[in-house]
Chain A
Protein backbone atom coordinates (compact mmCIF):
# COMPACT_ATOMS: atom_id res chain seq x y z
CA UNK A 1 0.00 0.00 0.00
CA UNK A 2 1.32 3.42 -0.91
CA UNK A 3 2.36 5.68 1.93
CA UNK A 4 3.86 9.11 2.44
CA UNK A 5 6.55 10.16 4.88
CA UNK A 6 5.90 13.41 6.74
CA UNK A 7 8.73 15.04 4.77
CA UNK A 8 6.62 14.61 1.62
CA UNK A 9 3.70 16.49 3.22
CA UNK A 10 2.48 19.49 1.24
CA UNK A 11 -0.81 21.21 0.50
CA UNK A 12 -3.17 19.04 -1.56
CA UNK A 13 -1.61 15.69 -0.61
CA UNK A 14 -4.32 13.05 0.03
CA UNK A 15 -3.83 10.76 3.03
CA UNK A 16 -5.87 8.29 5.09
CA UNK A 17 -6.65 9.03 8.71
CA UNK A 18 -8.86 6.88 10.95
CA UNK A 19 -10.35 5.23 7.87
CA UNK A 20 -11.32 8.46 6.10
CA UNK A 21 -9.61 10.22 3.18
CA UNK A 22 -8.20 13.67 3.92
CA UNK A 23 -6.47 16.37 1.94
CA UNK A 24 -3.64 18.38 3.53
CA UNK A 25 -4.56 22.06 3.76
CA UNK A 26 -1.50 23.31 5.61
CA UNK A 27 1.71 21.70 6.86
CA UNK A 28 4.07 23.34 9.34
CA UNK A 29 7.41 21.80 10.32
CA UNK A 30 7.99 22.42 14.03
CA UNK A 31 11.27 21.51 15.66
CA UNK A 32 13.09 22.67 18.74
CA UNK A 33 16.80 22.92 17.86
CA UNK A 34 17.70 20.00 20.08
CA UNK A 35 14.49 18.01 20.26
CA UNK A 36 11.83 16.00 18.56
CA UNK A 37 10.61 17.32 15.19
CA UNK A 38 6.90 17.44 14.40
CA UNK A 39 4.67 18.17 11.45
CA UNK A 40 1.68 20.19 12.53
CA UNK A 41 -0.93 19.63 9.86
CA UNK A 42 -4.36 21.02 8.99
CA UNK A 43 -6.43 18.49 7.06
CA UNK A 44 -9.83 18.51 5.44
CA UNK A 45 -11.98 15.40 5.62
CA UNK A 46 -12.98 14.71 2.02
CA UNK A 47 -16.19 12.98 3.08
CA UNK A 48 -17.69 15.69 5.25
CA UNK A 49 -15.49 18.74 4.58
CA UNK A 50 -14.53 19.19 8.24
CA UNK A 51 -11.09 20.65 8.90
CA UNK A 52 -9.06 19.09 11.72
CA UNK A 53 -5.57 19.69 13.12
CA UNK A 54 -3.19 16.86 13.77
CA UNK A 55 0.43 16.60 14.86
CA UNK A 56 2.72 13.89 13.53
CA UNK A 57 6.18 12.95 14.69
CA UNK A 58 8.43 13.87 11.74
CA UNK A 59 9.63 10.84 9.82
CA UNK A 60 6.44 8.86 10.44
CA UNK A 61 4.61 7.42 7.47
CA UNK A 62 0.92 7.62 6.76
CA UNK A 63 -1.15 5.68 4.28
CA UNK A 64 -1.83 7.45 1.00
CA UNK A 65 -5.47 7.92 0.03
CA UNK A 66 -6.30 6.73 -3.49
CA UNK A 67 -8.09 9.93 -4.39
CA UNK A 68 -8.18 11.44 -7.90
CA UNK A 69 -10.12 14.21 -9.57
CA UNK A 70 -11.61 13.23 -12.93
CA UNK A 71 -13.43 15.48 -15.43
CA UNK A 72 -16.73 13.79 -16.29
CA UNK A 73 -19.88 14.68 -18.16
CA UNK A 74 -23.10 14.83 -16.14
CA UNK A 75 -25.75 12.70 -17.85
CA UNK A 76 -28.96 12.57 -15.80
CA UNK A 77 -30.55 12.01 -12.42
CA UNK A 78 -32.78 8.94 -12.01
CA UNK A 79 -34.46 10.19 -8.86
CA UNK A 80 -31.93 8.53 -6.58
CA UNK A 81 -28.54 8.64 -8.28
CA UNK A 82 -26.69 11.12 -10.45
CA UNK A 83 -25.03 9.52 -13.47
CA UNK A 84 -21.73 10.66 -14.98
CA UNK A 85 -19.63 9.56 -17.94
CA UNK A 86 -15.94 9.76 -18.65
CA UNK A 87 -15.92 11.50 -22.07
CA UNK A 88 -12.74 9.68 -23.08
CA UNK A 89 -13.52 6.10 -22.08
CA UNK A 90 -17.34 6.43 -22.09
CA UNK A 91 -17.24 4.63 -18.74
CA UNK A 92 -20.21 5.55 -16.58
CA UNK A 93 -20.68 5.75 -12.85
CA UNK A 94 -23.38 6.86 -10.47
CA UNK A 95 -23.08 9.05 -7.39
CA UNK A 96 -25.36 9.21 -4.37
CA UNK A 97 -26.89 12.30 -2.78
CA UNK A 98 -24.16 12.20 -0.09
CA UNK A 99 -21.43 12.52 -2.73
CA UNK A 100 -23.15 15.07 -4.95
CA UNK A 101 -24.33 17.30 -2.09
CA UNK A 102 -25.09 20.93 -2.96
CA UNK A 103 -23.46 20.52 -6.37
CA UNK A 104 -26.83 19.02 -7.44
CA UNK A 105 -28.26 22.53 -7.50
CA UNK A 106 -25.99 23.46 -10.42
CA UNK A 107 -25.75 20.22 -12.39
CA UNK A 108 -27.00 20.64 -15.93
CA UNK A 109 -27.07 17.72 -18.31
CA UNK A 110 -24.06 17.61 -20.67
CA UNK A 111 -21.94 19.88 -18.45
CA UNK A 112 -18.40 18.77 -17.63
CA UNK A 113 -17.83 18.58 -13.88
CA UNK A 114 -14.98 17.46 -11.63
CA UNK A 115 -15.72 14.18 -9.83
CA UNK A 116 -13.44 13.22 -6.95
CA UNK A 117 -13.00 9.45 -6.79
CA UNK A 118 -11.82 7.55 -3.73
CA UNK A 119 -10.87 3.96 -4.54
CA UNK A 120 -12.82 4.45 -7.76
CA UNK A 121 -16.02 5.53 -5.98
CA UNK A 122 -17.37 9.09 -6.23
CA UNK A 123 -16.59 11.03 -3.08
CA UNK A 124 -17.67 14.49 -4.15
CA UNK A 125 -18.68 16.45 -7.23
CA UNK A 126 -17.62 19.99 -8.07
CA UNK A 127 -19.53 21.86 -10.77
CA UNK A 128 -17.61 24.33 -12.98
CA UNK A 129 -16.90 27.60 -11.15
CA UNK A 130 -19.23 29.39 -13.58
CA UNK A 131 -22.38 27.88 -15.03
CA UNK A 132 -25.03 29.28 -17.38
CA UNK A 133 -28.57 28.38 -16.37
CA UNK A 134 -32.06 29.39 -17.51
CA UNK A 135 -34.47 31.07 -15.12
CA UNK A 136 -37.56 28.92 -14.67
CA UNK A 137 -39.35 31.04 -12.13
CA UNK A 138 -39.21 34.61 -10.83
CA UNK A 139 -41.38 37.71 -10.38
CA UNK A 140 -41.92 39.75 -13.56
CA UNK A 141 -39.05 41.96 -14.62
CA UNK A 142 -38.93 45.69 -13.89
CA UNK A 143 -37.80 47.20 -17.14
CA UNK A 144 -34.92 49.62 -17.05
CA UNK A 145 -34.21 49.21 -13.33
CA UNK A 146 -30.48 48.66 -13.41
CA UNK A 147 -29.41 51.19 -10.82
CA UNK A 148 -31.21 50.60 -7.54
CA UNK A 149 -29.24 47.49 -6.59
CA UNK A 150 -32.45 45.85 -5.37
CA UNK A 151 -32.73 42.08 -5.87
CA UNK A 152 -35.37 39.37 -6.02
CA UNK A 153 -35.11 35.56 -5.86
CA UNK A 154 -35.00 33.57 -9.09
CA UNK A 155 -35.12 29.81 -9.49
CA UNK A 156 -33.06 28.28 -12.29
CA UNK A 157 -33.58 25.09 -14.28
CA UNK A 158 -31.34 22.97 -12.00
CA UNK A 159 -33.21 24.01 -8.84
CA UNK A 160 -30.84 26.60 -7.38
CA UNK A 161 -32.30 29.89 -6.14
CA UNK A 162 -30.16 32.97 -6.69
CA UNK A 163 -30.60 36.65 -5.90
CA UNK A 164 -30.90 38.55 -9.18
CA UNK A 165 -31.45 42.19 -10.22
CA UNK A 166 -35.05 43.26 -10.77
CA UNK A 167 -34.78 43.39 -14.59
CA UNK A 168 -34.29 39.61 -14.89
CA UNK A 169 -37.18 37.75 -16.56
CA UNK A 170 -38.26 34.13 -16.69
CA UNK A 171 -36.49 32.45 -19.60
CA UNK A 172 -33.33 34.56 -19.23
CA UNK A 173 -30.02 32.75 -19.09
CA UNK A 174 -27.82 33.71 -16.14
CA UNK A 175 -24.13 33.27 -15.43
CA UNK A 176 -23.71 32.07 -11.82
CA UNK A 177 -20.66 31.54 -9.61
CA UNK A 178 -21.23 28.07 -8.10
CA UNK A 179 -18.70 28.65 -5.28
CA UNK A 180 -20.71 31.52 -3.81
CA UNK A 181 -24.11 30.90 -5.41
CA UNK A 182 -24.05 34.49 -6.67
CA UNK A 183 -25.47 35.95 -9.87
CA UNK A 184 -22.75 37.36 -12.15
CA UNK A 185 -24.54 38.51 -15.31
CA UNK A 186 -27.29 37.89 -17.82
CA UNK A 187 -26.13 35.99 -20.90
CA UNK A 188 -27.35 36.91 -24.38
CA UNK A 189 -28.66 33.95 -26.37
Chain B
Protein backbone atom coordinates (compact mmCIF):
# COMPACT_ATOMS: atom_id res chain seq x y z
CA UNK B 1 0.00 0.00 0.00
CA UNK B 2 1.33 3.42 -0.90
CA UNK B 3 1.67 5.87 1.96
CA UNK B 4 -1.11 8.39 2.35
CA UNK B 5 -0.44 11.99 1.38
CA UNK B 6 -0.02 14.46 4.23
CA UNK B 7 -3.20 16.40 4.88
CA UNK B 8 -1.17 19.57 4.25
CA UNK B 9 -0.66 18.44 0.64
CA UNK B 10 -4.40 17.91 0.18
CA UNK B 11 -5.01 21.40 1.59
CA UNK B 12 -2.38 22.93 -0.71
CA UNK B 13 -4.06 21.33 -3.73
CA UNK B 14 -7.45 22.65 -2.63
CA UNK B 15 -5.95 26.10 -2.17
CA UNK B 16 -4.32 25.95 -5.63
CA UNK B 17 -7.57 24.93 -7.34
CA UNK B 18 -9.40 27.77 -5.55
CA UNK B 19 -6.72 30.31 -6.51
CA UNK B 20 -6.75 29.18 -10.13
CA UNK B 21 -10.50 29.71 -10.29
CA UNK B 22 -10.13 33.13 -8.68
CA UNK B 23 -7.44 34.05 -11.20
CA UNK B 24 -9.76 33.38 -14.13
CA UNK B 25 -12.86 34.76 -12.47
CA UNK B 26 -11.05 38.08 -11.93
CA UNK B 27 -10.18 38.13 -15.64
CA UNK B 28 -13.66 37.28 -16.86
CA UNK B 29 -12.73 33.85 -18.20
CA UNK B 30 -15.63 31.39 -18.02
CA UNK B 31 -15.20 27.98 -16.40
CA UNK B 32 -16.67 25.23 -18.56
CA UNK B 33 -16.82 21.42 -18.58
CA UNK B 34 -16.67 19.11 -21.59
CA UNK B 35 -17.02 15.31 -21.83
CA UNK B 36 -14.05 13.23 -20.74
CA UNK B 37 -15.31 10.33 -22.87
CA UNK B 38 -15.39 10.72 -26.66
CA UNK B 39 -15.89 8.53 -29.72
CA UNK B 40 -12.77 10.21 -31.15
CA UNK B 41 -9.13 9.73 -30.15
CA UNK B 42 -6.05 11.88 -30.53
CA UNK B 43 -4.11 11.24 -33.77
CA UNK B 44 -0.88 12.73 -32.34
CA UNK B 45 1.63 9.87 -32.86
CA UNK B 46 3.37 10.63 -29.54
CA UNK B 47 0.21 10.57 -27.45
CA UNK B 48 -1.70 7.33 -26.94
CA UNK B 49 -5.38 7.54 -26.13
CA UNK B 50 -6.84 5.03 -23.69
CA UNK B 51 -9.65 3.15 -25.39
CA UNK B 52 -12.65 1.82 -23.55
CA UNK B 53 -15.92 0.14 -24.40
CA UNK B 54 -19.10 2.20 -24.35
CA UNK B 55 -21.76 -0.44 -24.85
CA UNK B 56 -20.76 -1.99 -28.16
CA UNK B 57 -19.03 1.20 -29.30
CA UNK B 58 -15.40 2.07 -28.84
CA UNK B 59 -14.75 5.30 -26.97
CA UNK B 60 -11.64 7.11 -25.77
CA UNK B 61 -10.70 8.96 -22.61
CA UNK B 62 -9.61 12.47 -23.53
CA UNK B 63 -5.88 13.16 -23.81
CA UNK B 64 -6.79 16.84 -23.44
CA UNK B 65 -10.03 18.84 -23.74
CA UNK B 66 -8.65 20.76 -26.75
CA UNK B 67 -11.11 19.73 -29.48
CA UNK B 68 -14.17 19.98 -27.25
CA UNK B 69 -13.16 23.42 -25.99
CA UNK B 70 -12.48 24.70 -29.50
CA UNK B 71 -15.98 23.61 -30.50
CA UNK B 72 -17.31 25.85 -27.73
CA UNK B 73 -15.15 28.72 -29.01
CA UNK B 74 -16.72 28.29 -32.45
CA UNK B 75 -20.16 28.44 -30.80
CA UNK B 76 -19.26 31.83 -29.36
CA UNK B 77 -18.36 30.95 -25.79
CA UNK B 78 -15.73 33.69 -25.53
CA UNK B 79 -12.75 33.22 -23.19
CA UNK B 80 -12.96 29.84 -21.40
CA UNK B 81 -10.99 27.67 -19.03
CA UNK B 82 -11.34 24.13 -17.75
CA UNK B 83 -9.85 22.09 -14.91
CA UNK B 84 -10.14 18.41 -15.76
CA UNK B 85 -8.45 15.06 -15.79
CA UNK B 86 -6.68 13.89 -18.94
CA UNK B 87 -5.41 10.41 -19.75
CA UNK B 88 -2.39 9.23 -21.72
CA UNK B 89 -1.54 5.58 -22.09
CA UNK B 90 2.00 4.44 -21.34
CA UNK B 91 3.12 7.63 -19.60
CA UNK B 92 4.45 6.80 -16.16
CA UNK B 93 7.45 8.11 -14.30
CA UNK B 94 8.54 10.70 -11.83
CA UNK B 95 6.95 13.48 -13.90
CA UNK B 96 4.29 11.51 -15.73
CA UNK B 97 1.13 9.70 -14.72
CA UNK B 98 -1.36 8.11 -17.10
CA UNK B 99 -4.09 10.21 -15.42
CA UNK B 100 -3.36 13.79 -14.48
CA UNK B 101 -5.02 17.13 -13.81
CA UNK B 102 -4.90 19.61 -16.65
CA UNK B 103 -5.73 23.29 -16.72
CA UNK B 104 -6.54 24.43 -20.25
CA UNK B 105 -7.64 27.89 -21.31
CA UNK B 106 -8.31 29.95 -24.43
CA UNK B 107 -8.13 33.70 -24.89
CA UNK B 108 -9.73 35.47 -27.87
CA UNK B 109 -7.56 37.95 -29.78
CA UNK B 110 -4.42 36.90 -27.86
CA UNK B 111 -1.33 35.73 -29.67
CA UNK B 112 0.99 33.16 -28.10
CA UNK B 113 3.27 35.80 -26.57
CA UNK B 114 0.37 37.55 -24.84
CA UNK B 115 -0.86 34.20 -23.57
CA UNK B 116 2.65 33.33 -22.35
CA UNK B 117 2.63 36.54 -20.32
CA UNK B 118 -0.63 35.41 -18.75
CA UNK B 119 0.81 31.96 -17.95
CA UNK B 120 3.77 33.61 -16.22
CA UNK B 121 1.42 35.93 -14.29
CA UNK B 122 -0.64 32.92 -13.22
CA UNK B 123 2.40 31.00 -11.95
CA UNK B 124 3.64 34.06 -10.06
CA UNK B 125 0.22 34.57 -8.48
CA UNK B 126 0.10 30.96 -7.28
CA UNK B 127 3.44 31.32 -5.47
CA UNK B 128 3.79 32.51 -1.90
CA UNK B 129 4.24 36.28 -1.69
CA UNK B 130 7.59 35.84 0.06
CA UNK B 131 8.99 33.20 -2.35
CA UNK B 132 12.30 34.07 -3.98
CA UNK B 133 11.73 35.70 -7.37
CA UNK B 134 12.05 33.61 -10.53
CA UNK B 135 13.95 34.88 -13.55
CA UNK B 136 11.77 35.10 -16.66
CA UNK B 137 13.38 34.31 -19.98
CA UNK B 138 11.82 33.94 -23.43
CA UNK B 139 14.06 32.15 -25.90
CA UNK B 140 13.59 30.68 -29.34
CA UNK B 141 14.02 26.97 -29.99
CA UNK B 142 16.75 27.85 -32.44
CA UNK B 143 18.67 30.10 -30.03
CA UNK B 144 18.50 27.51 -27.27
CA UNK B 145 19.97 24.74 -29.46
CA UNK B 146 22.73 27.06 -30.63
CA UNK B 147 23.48 28.16 -27.08
CA UNK B 148 23.67 24.67 -25.55
CA UNK B 149 24.67 22.44 -28.45
CA UNK B 150 26.07 24.73 -31.17
CA UNK B 151 23.68 23.31 -33.73
CA UNK B 152 20.96 25.08 -35.74
CA UNK B 153 17.80 22.97 -35.37
CA UNK B 154 16.24 24.62 -38.43
CA UNK B 155 19.16 23.78 -40.68
CA UNK B 156 20.54 20.39 -39.71
CA UNK B 157 20.54 16.72 -40.65
CA UNK B 158 20.00 13.43 -38.86
CA UNK B 159 23.71 12.67 -39.26
CA UNK B 160 24.67 15.92 -37.58
CA UNK B 161 22.19 15.45 -34.72
CA UNK B 162 23.36 11.87 -34.23
CA UNK B 163 26.94 13.16 -33.99
CA UNK B 164 25.90 15.80 -31.45
CA UNK B 165 24.13 13.14 -29.36
CA UNK B 166 27.24 10.97 -29.48
CA UNK B 167 29.42 13.90 -28.51
CA UNK B 168 27.08 14.49 -25.55
CA UNK B 169 27.66 10.90 -24.45
CA UNK B 170 24.17 9.61 -25.30
CA UNK B 171 23.99 5.95 -26.29
CA UNK B 172 21.00 5.46 -28.60
CA UNK B 173 20.51 2.68 -31.13
CA UNK B 174 16.90 3.50 -31.93
CA UNK B 175 15.72 4.62 -35.33
CA UNK B 176 14.63 8.21 -34.86
CA UNK B 177 13.16 10.81 -37.18
CA UNK B 178 14.76 14.24 -37.46
CA UNK B 179 12.22 15.53 -34.93
CA UNK B 180 12.93 12.48 -32.77
CA UNK B 181 16.62 13.46 -32.64
CA UNK B 182 15.64 17.03 -31.77
CA UNK B 183 13.32 15.73 -29.01
CA UNK B 184 16.15 13.55 -27.70
CA UNK B 185 18.64 16.42 -27.53
CA UNK B 186 16.12 18.88 -26.09
CA UNK B 187 14.93 16.50 -23.37
CA UNK B 188 18.33 14.98 -22.47
CA UNK B 189 20.87 17.74 -23.05
CA UNK B 190 19.09 21.11 -22.91
CA UNK B 191 16.07 21.02 -20.61
CA UNK B 192 17.99 19.41 -17.69
CA UNK B 193 20.44 22.34 -17.87
CA UNK B 194 17.86 25.14 -17.70
CA UNK B 195 18.49 27.25 -14.57
CA UNK B 196 16.47 26.01 -11.58
CA UNK B 197 15.17 29.42 -10.49
CA UNK B 198 14.02 30.44 -13.96
CA UNK B 199 10.76 30.33 -15.87
CA UNK B 200 11.93 29.64 -19.41
CA UNK B 201 9.50 30.14 -22.26
CA UNK B 202 10.56 28.32 -25.39
CA UNK B 203 9.03 29.82 -28.54
CA UNK B 204 9.21 29.38 -32.32
CA UNK B 205 9.29 25.59 -32.49
CA UNK B 206 10.24 24.08 -35.85
CA UNK B 207 7.28 24.02 -38.26
CA UNK B 208 7.42 20.20 -38.20
CA UNK B 209 6.52 20.41 -34.48
CA UNK B 210 3.74 22.96 -34.90
CA UNK B 211 1.06 20.56 -33.61
CA UNK B 212 -2.02 22.82 -33.87
CA UNK B 213 -0.21 26.16 -33.81
CA UNK B 214 -0.24 28.44 -36.84
CA UNK B 215 3.07 28.94 -38.64
CA UNK B 216 5.04 32.14 -38.17
CA UNK B 217 5.58 34.45 -41.16
CA UNK B 218 8.95 32.77 -41.84
CA UNK B 219 7.01 29.46 -42.38
CA UNK B 220 9.98 27.59 -40.85
CA UNK B 221 8.75 28.01 -37.29
CA UNK B 222 5.42 27.78 -35.51
CA UNK B 223 3.66 30.11 -33.04
CA UNK B 224 3.93 27.48 -30.32
CA UNK B 225 5.36 28.00 -26.84
CA UNK B 226 6.24 25.91 -23.83
CA UNK B 227 6.91 27.10 -20.31
CA UNK B 228 9.47 25.37 -18.08
CA UNK B 229 9.93 25.98 -14.36
CA UNK B 230 13.53 24.99 -13.92
CA UNK B 231 13.78 21.87 -16.04
CA UNK B 232 10.16 20.82 -15.55
CA UNK B 233 7.83 21.41 -18.48
CA UNK B 234 4.65 23.02 -17.16
CA UNK B 235 2.67 24.33 -20.11
CA UNK B 236 2.31 24.01 -23.87
CA UNK B 237 0.40 26.57 -25.92
CA UNK B 238 -0.37 27.84 -29.41
CA UNK B 239 -1.54 30.83 -31.29
CA UNK B 240 -4.20 28.57 -32.69
CA UNK B 241 -4.31 27.34 -36.26
CA UNK B 242 -7.62 28.33 -37.88
CA UNK B 243 -7.49 26.93 -41.44
CA UNK B 244 -9.75 23.83 -41.57
CA UNK B 245 -7.96 22.32 -44.59
CA UNK B 246 -4.59 22.62 -42.87
CA UNK B 247 -6.08 20.80 -39.86
CA UNK B 248 -7.19 17.94 -42.10
CA UNK B 249 -3.75 17.83 -43.68
CA UNK B 250 -1.92 17.75 -40.33
CA UNK B 251 -4.19 15.02 -38.93
CA UNK B 252 -3.58 12.94 -42.07
CA UNK B 253 0.20 13.35 -41.63
CA UNK B 254 -0.11 12.29 -37.98
CA UNK B 255 -2.17 9.22 -38.81
CA UNK B 256 0.34 8.34 -41.55
CA UNK B 257 3.12 8.58 -38.97
CA UNK B 258 1.12 6.34 -36.64
CA UNK B 259 0.63 3.83 -39.44
CA UNK B 260 4.37 3.86 -40.26
CA UNK B 261 5.20 3.24 -36.60
CA UNK B 262 2.74 0.34 -36.40
CA UNK B 263 0.34 2.25 -34.14
CA UNK B 264 -3.43 2.14 -34.64
CA UNK B 265 -4.76 5.14 -36.54
CA UNK B 266 -7.14 7.36 -34.59
CA UNK B 267 -10.58 8.48 -35.72
CA UNK B 268 -10.43 12.26 -36.11
CA UNK B 269 -13.07 14.29 -34.28
CA UNK B 270 -15.57 14.97 -37.08
CA UNK B 271 -17.59 17.41 -34.98
CA UNK B 272 -14.41 19.40 -34.46
CA UNK B 273 -13.65 19.46 -38.19
CA UNK B 274 -17.23 20.60 -38.89
CA UNK B 275 -16.93 23.34 -36.30
CA UNK B 276 -13.68 24.56 -37.88
CA UNK B 277 -15.58 25.07 -41.17
CA UNK B 278 -17.74 27.57 -39.33
CA UNK B 279 -14.61 29.37 -38.21
CA UNK B 280 -12.49 29.19 -35.07
CA UNK B 281 -12.11 32.73 -33.70
CA UNK B 282 -8.63 34.23 -33.57
CA UNK B 283 -7.32 32.97 -30.25
CA UNK B 284 -4.45 31.48 -28.30
CA UNK B 285 -4.75 28.45 -26.02
CA UNK B 286 -2.57 26.68 -23.50
CA UNK B 287 -2.60 23.55 -21.34
CA UNK B 288 -0.83 23.52 -17.99
CA UNK B 289 -0.06 20.50 -15.80
CA UNK B 290 -1.66 21.23 -12.42
CA UNK B 291 -0.01 18.31 -10.61
CA UNK B 292 3.40 19.48 -11.79
CA UNK B 293 2.68 23.06 -10.75
CA UNK B 294 1.68 21.77 -7.31
CA UNK B 295 4.92 19.77 -7.20
CA UNK B 296 6.98 22.88 -7.85
CA UNK B 297 5.00 25.00 -5.39
CA UNK B 298 5.67 22.39 -2.69
CA UNK B 299 9.26 21.76 -3.76
CA UNK B 300 8.39 18.07 -4.27
CA UNK B 301 10.60 15.76 -6.33
CA UNK B 302 7.95 13.53 -7.83
CA UNK B 303 4.27 13.53 -8.82
CA UNK B 304 3.74 10.70 -6.34
CA UNK B 305 4.28 13.26 -3.59
CA UNK B 306 1.28 15.35 -4.69
CA UNK B 307 -1.19 12.90 -6.27
CA UNK B 308 -3.59 10.61 -4.41
CA UNK B 309 -3.30 6.97 -5.51
Contact = CB atoms under 8 A, between A and B. Distances in A.
Given A55-B171, A57-B176, A59-B90, A31 B236 contact: no
B150 interface: no
Contacts of B136: none
B111 interface: no
Contact of B184 (A38, A54, A60): A38
Interface in A1-40: 7, 28-38, 40
A66 interface: no
B184 A36 contact: yes
Interface in A56-71: 56-60
Interface residues of B, number: 32
Contacts of A7: 90, 92
B92 A29 contact: yes
Contacts of A60: 174
A36 B233 contact: no
A121 interface: no
A52 interface: yes
Contacts of A28: 93-94
A29 B172 contact: no
B187 interface: yes
A57 B92 contact: no
A119 to B, nearest CB: 23
Interface in B50-95: 90-95
Interface core residue of A37, A54, A58, A59 (most chain B CB under 10 Å): A37
Contacts of B91: 29, 31, 37
Interface in B84-113: 90-96
A40 B171 contact: no
A59 to B, nearest CB: 7
B92 A54 contact: no
B134 interface: no
Contact of A36 (B93, B95, B179, B211): B179
Contacts of B204: none
A105 B89 CA distance: 49
A97 B259 CA distance: 51
Contact of B233 (A32, A55, A56, A57): A32
Interface string B151-177: 000000000000000000111101111
Contacts of A139: none
B186 interface: yes
Given A29-B93, A58-B90, A36 B171 contact: no
B46 interface: yes
Contacts of B46: 31, 34-37
A53 interface: yes
Nearest to B181: A36
Interface string A155-183: 00000000000000000000000000000
B188 interface: yes
B215 to A, nearest CB: 16
A33 B288 CA distance: 10
Nearest to B262: A59
Contacts of A34: 44, 46-47, 209, 211, 236
Interface of B: 44, 46-47, 90-96, 169-172, 174-177, 179-180, 182-184, 186-188, 191, 209, 211, 226, 233, 236
Given A34-B209, A38-B187, 10 more contacts: A28-B93, A30-B188, A32-B183, A32-B187, A35-B180, A36-B180, A37-B46, A40-B188, A57-B172, A57-B174
11 contacts: A7-B92, A31-B93, A31-B187, A34-B44, A35-B179, A36-B184, A37-B91, A38-B184, A38-B187, A55-B171, A56-B174
